[in-house]
Homo-oligomer: A and B are copies of this chain.
Amino acid sequence: MSMIQVGVLGASGYVGSELIGILMKHEGVDISGISSENNQGAAFSSLYPSFKGQYDAQFESNQEVISKSDVVFICLPHGKSEGMVKQCMDEGKKVIDAGADFRLNDLKLYEDWYETAISYPDLHDQAVYGLPEMNKEAISKTSLVANPGCYPTSILLGLYPAVSEHLIDTETLIIDAKSGVTGAGKNLSAVTHFANKNEGFKAYKAGTHRHTPEIEEKLSLMGADNVKVSFVPHLLPVNRGILSTMYADLENQTAPEIIHELYKDWYADDPFITVLDYGDLPDISHVTHSNQCHIGLTVDERTKRLIIVSVIDNMQKGAAGQAVQNMNIMMGFNETEGLAMAAPSF
């Protein structure tokens, strides 16, 4: 079988390096090249020594990588992807953009929250939001996937059945999310200085995080009416994982077992979603280093609220794993190819 050639732009960052690890295990692709503006000529394994002797390729320019690739993963900061996507599309490549530039349908919303102008509005019409559990068919037909944000992935998967089936009053939605520090990337900061973070824990950007409009727009597409959520992220002293705790008033008196059954059925065919037993709540450590999402739920009988807890690995299902899942769907591979990573939680 001839191998698909895949390239990674911005492979020096955390998402890019996680992608390399996954793609090396993928049986249907070759890594055609990797780029990094600041590291051209350096070996990938000099930045990520785990790969010594296993993947020692050098960083090249974006253009060199694009020209050698059938599929291009873009792992660049927001605002930097759009032009690269234009170029890739002009050259007839398939693209999975791990950044934020193509996630929102409402371009005005993007420009407001990201304080960045859109240059190629038409291009955005072609983008499909790459949450496979929601958009599998569209993903299979597009050439441009906008890979979801890490927080939105964990949140949307947790809320999808409840919102679609109108089980909850979305006006009352509270989302309290907690992420490991790899979500903040490899740039040094006082916040992620070990002595500050170890034994530390805090909330940040309460009500103002840029993932808010993405969450709201996609919930609306699932059937919520003009939803506005309170979204507060927190930074955990762990490397990987997002746990989102979601609270909403029940819209009617649906029995807890019915809700649970609905969730089980909803995701019955999705290989990466596990709905736990009713009342069983998930642990971040159970999904780290895997593309799995575990969802637990319970009804707070005293307050008639539905409480949903979901966990993912922010680097996998929240970024690089989901990007490969999207590629698999786009290119006709088995959805789990390269992603079958079961391991104990320690």
Q: Measuring CB to CB, which residues of chain A are less than 8 angstroms from any residue of chain B? A: 14, 17-18, 20-21, 24-25, 48-55, 172, 174, 176, 178, 181-182, 186, 188-190, 192-204, 206-207, 212, 228-230, 232, 234, 236-241, 243, 245, 247, 271, 274, 276, 281-290, 292, 294, 296, 298-303, 305, 307, 309, 315, 340-346
Contacts and interface: CB of A to CB of B under 8 A. Distances in A.
Contact of A14 (B200, B204, B307, B346): B346
Given A286-B50, A303-B229, A281 B192 contact: no
Contacts of A172: 172
Contacts of A300: 206-207, 230
A195 B178 contact: no
Contacts of A196: 283, 285, 345-346
B239 A48 contact: no
A21 B344 contact: yes
A343 B52 contact: no
Closest 8 CB pairs of A and B: A207-B300, A200-B285, A176-B176, A202-B283, A21-B343, A195-B346, A188-B188, A17-B344
A113 to B, nearest CB: 11
Contacts of A298: 206-207
Nearest to A307: B206
A54 B342 contact: yes
A240 B201 contact: no
A282 B229 contact: no
B24 A340 contact: yes
A201 B311 CA distance: 10
Contacts of A288: 199
A192 B190 contact: no
Contact of A285 (B199, B282, B296): B199
Given A203-B309, A245-B232, A341-B25, A192 B195 contact: yes
B236 A25 contact: no
A240 to B, nearest CB: 7
14 contacts: A24-B342, A50-B286, A181-B198, A192-B193, A193-B194, A194-B197, A194-B239, A198-B237, A199-B239, A199-B284, A201-B236, A203-B296, A207-B302, A232-B247
B193 A188 contact: yes
B199 A199 contact: yes
B201 A193 contact: no
A223 B101 CA distance: 48
Given A178-B201, A230-B247, 12 more contacts: A48-B344, A176-B247, A192-B195, A198-B238, A199-B238, A200-B238, A201-B283, A202-B243, A202-B282, A207-B300, A230-B305, A236-B236
A261 B275 CA distance: 45
A303 B230 contact: yes
Instruction: Name which of A207, A281, A309, A346 has the most chain B CB atoms within 10 A of its CB.
Output: A346
Contacts of A176: 174, 176, 245, 247
Contacts of A229: 303
Contacts of A342: 20-21, 24-25, 50-51, 54-55
